[in-house]
Amino acid sequence: MDNLDPVVDNQDPVVETTPAVDTTVTPEVKAEPVTTAPAPTDFSWKAKVGSDLANSPSIQKFEDTPEGLKKAVESHVNLEKLLGHEKVPMPKGPDDVEGIDRFNKAMGVPENAEGYNLPDVTLPGELGNVTFDKNVFAQLAKENSLTPAQANGLWKKYTEMSGSVYQQHLSKVQQDLTTNINALRAEWGDAYASNIELGEMVVAKFADDENMGNFLTASLSKDPAGMKFLAKIGQQFTENKIGDFQYQRQSLTAAEATTEINKIKADPKHPYGNPDAPDDEHDAAVAHVNRLISISMGKRAQG
């Protein structure tokens, strides 16, 4: 049995060894960032509203994106605000009297011209005598269905523009008058003042009132020829030659001649019957009456 035991005396002893450590330095390698492809978007708000709405013209103008959805919502909100106001149907046409009246009332057009309450116009300085008929203007505003704001704005512009035009006209008249005066001063010299006085005398004699006098002065003073004409007539007065013109009228009918005779005989201041009249004026008046008598009897007047 002893021979069955293993013989260990002849085996080498087991020696534990430590593994060698590799001291070589390996350079550090940085890892590259991992890039992943973006997942395809599946956002489609139009797909949620159904094909009928998605294909409608109102929706087609908005893109199928988040930004498009935002704009579509904003449009809807603004429409809601608009529809919240009072709604007035548009007139069907110019013959839709009811519709036009309803629309005008909603717009604030007054029922009559007095409802516009146009302000009075006061222009400064020499324009103060310019008047504007605001009642006629208000009636025109009513006929054209203007709102009060429109009518008042147009009234303001109209009166301001008219005043400006009138001011320009006055300035032009004054400028022309100054030009004419300077021309006549150069032509008449020292006689200028006396000639102007003669013209003013003519206007005062024949004008019925101040308005007519202003009209005659303004009309004839536009040109030096008119002022010369006034002065010439005034000169005739100073030389007692006006009576000569009085008796030169021709082509009278018999009835007109008879009427003129009666008028002369009924006027105690007429040279024909006035004993205080100068002889030359009395003689001219007698000759004139004799001619009238001839005409009244059907005879041709003798010159």
Q: What is the pTM of this model?
A: 0.39
CA dihedral (260, 262, 268, 274) positive or negative: positive
Distances (CA, A) of 29 to 26, 32, 35, 279: 9, 9, 18, 149
Q: What pLDDT is stored for residue 262 in this prediction? A: 93
Q: What pLDDT is stored for residue 301 in this prediction? A: 45
In the structure encoding, which two tokens stand for residue 222, read together?
A: 């536009």
- Given a contact cutoff of 8 angstroms between Cβ atoms, the answer to whether 227 and 196 are in contact is yes
Q: What pLDDT is stored for residue 251 in this prediction? A: 61
The DSSP result for the chain, as a single string, is -GGGSPP-TTSPPP---PPPP--PPPPP-PPPPPP-PPPPP---SGGGT-HHHHTSHHHHTS-SSHHHHHHHHHHHHHHHHHHTSPP-PPPSSTT-HHHHHHHHHHHT--SSGGGG-PPP----GGGGG----HHHHHHHHHHTT--HHHHHHHHHHHHHHHHHHHHHHHHHHHHHHHHHHHHHHHHHGGGHHHHHHHHHHHHHHH-SSHHHHHHHHHHHTTSHHHHHHHHHHHHHHHTT-HHHHHT------HHHHHHHHHHHHT-TTSTTT-TTS-HHHHHHHHHHHHHHHHHHTTPPPP-
In which region does residue 34 sit, left (phi positive, over 0), alpha (psi from -120 to 50) or beta (all else)? beta
Q: What pLDDT is stored for residue 17 in this prediction? A: 52
Q: What's CA 184's distance to the chain center, in Å?
A: 40
The backbone torsions φ and ψ at residue 62, rounded to the nearest 5 degrees and listed phi first, read -105, 140
Distance CA(171)–CA(179), nearest Å, equals: 12
Q: What pLDDT is stored for residue 138 in this prediction? A: 92
Distance CA(24)–CA(35), nearest Å, equals: 33
- Given a contact cutoff of 8 angstroms between Cβ atoms, the answer to whether 247 and 286 are in contact is no
In the structure encoding, which two tokens stand for residue 254, read together?
A: 């018999």
Q: What pLDDT is stored for residue 266 in this prediction? A: 92
Q: Which of 167, 145, 152 is nearest to 120 (CA)?
A: 152
pLDDT tens, per residue, the chain with 303 residues: 444 455 445 555 555 555 555 555 555 555 555 555 555 557 888 888 888 888 888 888 899 899 988 988 888 887 766 655 566 778 888 888 888 888 888 888 898 888 988 888 877 666 666 778 889 999 999 999 899 999 999 998 888 888 888 788 878 878 888 888 898 888 888 888 888 888 888 888 888 888 898 888 878 877 888 888 888 887 777 666 555 555 555 567 888 889 989 999 999 989 899 999 888 888 888 988 998 898 888 765 444
Q: What pLDDT is stored for residue 302 in this prediction? A: 45
In the structure encoding, which two tokens stand for residue 206, read together?
A: 């024949």
